Homo-oligomer: A and B are copies of this chain.
Amino acid sequence: MKKSRYNMVIAGATGAVGQEFLTVLEKRNFPVGDLRLLASSRSVGKKMKFRGMDYPVYELKSDSFHGVDIALFSAGGNRSKEFAPHAVKAGAVVVDNSSAYRMDPEVPLVVPEINPEDIKKHKGILANPNCTTIIALMAVWPIHRLSPVKRMVVATYQAVSGAGAKALEELEVQAGEFLEGRELTKNVFRHQIAFNLFSHDSDIGPEGYSQEEMKVVKETRKILHDDSILVSPTCVRVPIFRAHAEAIHLELARSVSVQEATEALDAMPGVKVVDDRAGNYFPMPIEVSGKDEVYVGRIRKDLGMANGLNLFVCGDQLLKGAALNAVQIAEKLIASS
């Protein structure tokens, strides 16, 4: 579908990721033709800015996709399941940020810097991986190419933005209430998030792992095309607004030096090495917020395990962890078509 402009839909436009879709499309000068913003009936009537113009928000419906080339979805898994097939039927290609289709064998799961070749296998739907997975793999992939990852132990420090726009507000409101000694307002998270942290707020499965943790396990294997990789995750929500951090401990097939790893990470598009040992300066959520790159530091050999290599990564959950990666998929899609 090579065109000079692409008619686009954003489903879930008023959410935290939806708003970032607009910012990213504008910043990257994506060849947007007609643009239709869709959300639930609650948001109908709102207006959102794109390239200096007001766009009204319409209700997401099964007949919303007439004449659409590309539909960016971030409206939750249930809405993706219900409406993405209508978009495909109308002739659009869907890039879906929800978890609905990620593990569907018919649907490519893509980080454009890692497995762009999977894009061409799509049958109308492309899945954007989970934010935690994308941010981890941007750092792990260049090392995996030097020496295959046998096992990855990952502990996360996840921002509230992954739970949506209302979660961002909840952290801010609660922090103010806490400082003033008032009762805390809890709408999004069941536990206090201000000045607290807790195991990721997704359901725990029979093995004792949260859905978020299982996403990291399964999506890592699918994106790297290697079902033998062992992943041992602990996902934790922390009182940070919009950037995830992850402590990653890798066991590799063979020993990789810090210098080899650093050079590979330096050469990786979309990665910035921030690793100043003398200055005690490494990736931090506040510095990566609003940035496209995933920051990687604390690159060091494991203590005692010769094939071990450890990293600390930070990435903007709403950008590379969501909207930016999805728009990059769309860019690759139109470039290859």
- CB within 8 Å of B: which residues of A? 151, 153, 155, 157, 171-172, 175-176, 179, 190-192, 195-199, 201, 203-204, 207-210, 217, 230-234, 236, 238-241, 245, 247, 249, 258, 277-278, 280, 282, 284-286, 297-305, 308, 310, 312
Contact = CB atoms under 8 A, between A and B. Distances in A.
A197 B301 contact: no
Given A195-B239, A199-B297, A239-B240, 7 more contacts: A153-B153, A175-B179, A197-B285, A199-B298, A231-B303, A232-B308, A238-B239
Contacts of A191: 284
The interface residues of chain A, by DSSP majority, are classed as mixed
Given A153-B153, A234-B298, A284-B196, A277 B247 contact: no
Given A195-B241, A284-B191, A285-B197, A234 B157 contact: no
Contacts of A217: 303
Identical copies of this chain, number: 2
B230 A249 contact: no
B196 A286 contact: yes
B195 A240 contact: yes
Task: Tell me which of A172, A176, A249 has the highest count of chain B C-beta atoms within 10 A of its own C-beta.
Answer: A249
Contacts of A155: 155, 234, 247, 249
Given A195-B241, A277-B208, A284-B197, A157 B236 contact: yes
A242 B247 CA distance: 21
A23 B124 CA distance: 65
B240 A280 contact: no
Contacts of A304: 151, 230-232
Nearest to A246: B155
B284 A209 contact: no
Contacts of A190: 280
A298 B208 CA distance: 7
Contacts of A241: 195
A247 B195 CA distance: 18
Contacts of A192: 284, 286
A136 to B, nearest CB: 13
Task: Tell me which of A231, A247, A285 has the highest count of chain B C-beta atoms within 10 A of its own C-beta.
Answer: A247
Given A230-B303, A310-B234, A280 B199 contact: yes
A312 to B, nearest CB: 6
Contacts of A204: 277-278, 280
Contacts of A233: 303
A114 to B, nearest CB: 22
Contacts of A286: 192, 195-196
